[in-house]
Structure 1
């Protein structure tokens, strides 16, 4: 039996590779992808702008899948389960892992970037990186647990309850961060984006949206990953405010350090998720406190992944492009 796996062989070069589906070892599962989301980091890899990968890259980290087989010494009850993938692979030994902050493991690898991901007819993953999907959630919702966990982690790093919050960027992460902040009791949440279509999408989720302006906030989430947006986040702060950087940057940036010092701003980064964030993302989805389906603007069969990448690159029209297995 021969299967296929998508590879980004080099910037701007995709290829389907034939491979024999691997057999799972102890603690591993063989999975069939059901739904795989394309995100901005996948596009950075394709464009040659991701700072932390080496080619070839085998993408696919926003994944819902079905367990086909498990390896020796692994609980057979996993077979047949629908799961969502937590793609971080960690050492478990470094000080960060030992403290529970395995998202910044010193040897961190992420499936879909530094390790093979789920854009394949079948793929391997450690069983301890799988989370069962509740019956009420669809495959597409399951694939979007990963970016929702990113949002849960980012909001959890700040104090939003009772405070005025701005989210810069109405892409997938920004719209999820805004919904989580609302669910966590922010006094108000405003989504800021220059594109009218993106603002309409936010408003369809019940989130006030506006173009960039002069207002100031107590908490600002930067969800774009650009120098201009980061500067706008700093400039949009009240004194003593917090800025959480959730956007992924492909270039070095300059910032107004004088304002950070003079206004006593808190500036911190947010990377991925830790053990509490996936169960919390599943809870928010199951209880209907966060909606992910309206973010999906395009769907393709997995075999049409190159066309899906081309569509996702049209960033003004595409928000979340979904591949269906």
Structure 2
């Protein structure tokens, strides 16, 4: 059994063929799986890079329960976090170490089957071993934290005045990483009071949109209005990192990018070192994940979980777990 989004606005827990293990692959039982904003984009028919049916699940902590040929027996029973990027290893981006922008990138849960299932298959190279005492829900949140780590490492934040637009899961994690990396100040900007309240629980400053200016802005919303707000809110010579996923083209004040010498840069996913840093940040307590979890469901309750995630004023991280 596994979750399938057969078309926009339709997800169900359905029969699926038994997974087959190839060389270098392992069989995993998911312990905790997060519902991501990108999953909701797929559900709503707004993700630009998928074809239906889609088998979701890319934020996951799992237990290794079976080994394919050639796999080191030490993997048996391991607690792991999944890095869902499937890359070619041959293109220029892969050869230079930037495999997150592989020319042939596929992502488990989007272009390849994911982890919302009774069991699933992954290459061992996509697994990060976790300490046995590591909390499974935090293990599932390693993936979004790695997204945040990668974004923050794209520009200097130490000693800078920073804003994060959007107090969703990614925005709240980005803000915590920015704070951990020594920013002079970091403010979360979000119009929704419940999300600002979570930010404050995390020890972050949060406010509604205004006309303040910043040296660095992380755009974690993914729409035209937020990107334009970032351009209007940046100091001359400042940096904007675009982390939000866009479902359609955006019109922005491009003239200001040139005239103010704004650096506008996108951030996609992560690499191995970002995952390792995310594990460290959770392990030492520099980033909190638990306060972001607003809803919990069993794996079989995927329909209810996705509907809960659609209530954006109430939901942050929706988490699925084995029943």
TM bin (shorter chain): over 0.9
For 1:185, the equivalent position in structure 2 comes to 182
Pick the aligned partner of 1:220 from 200, 211, 217.
217
Matched, 1:10 2:10: no
1:268 Cα deviation after fit: 0.3
Pick the aligned partner of 1:156 from 145, 153, 156.
153
For 1:87, the equivalent position in structure 2 comes to 84
Mapped to 2, the partners of 1:189 and 1:201 lie a distance apart of: 15
- What whole-Å deviation, never above 9, does each CA across 1:117-141 have from its counterpart, x for those lacking one? 0000000001100001123420000
- 1:109-258 to 2 correspondence within 5 Å? 109-258=106-255
For 1:264, the equivalent position in structure 2 comes to 261
Mapped to 1, the partners of 2:298 and 2:224 lie a distance apart of: 35
1:21 Cα deviation after fit: 2.5
- What whole-Å deviation, never above 9, does each CA across 1:34-54 have from its counterpart, x for those lacking one? 000001100010110000000
1:24 Cα deviation after fit: 1.5
- 1:280-291 to 2 correspondence within 5 Å? 280-291=277-288
Pick the aligned partner of 2:303 from 306, 314, 318.
306
* 2:11 partner SS: strand
Mapped to 1, the partners of 2:13 and 2:272 lie a distance apart of: 33
The answer as to whether partners of 1:218 and 1:242 remain within 8 angstroms in 2 is yes
Structure 2, unaligned runs of 5 or more: none
The answer as to whether partners of 2:11 and 2:302 remain within 8 angstroms in 1 is no
Mapped to 2, the partners of 1:282 and 1:134 lie a distance apart of: 10
For 2:320, the equivalent position in structure 1 comes to 323
Root-mean-square deviation over aligned CA pairs: 0.7
Runs of 4+ in structure 1 off by over 6 angstroms are: none
1:16 Cα deviation after fit: 2.5
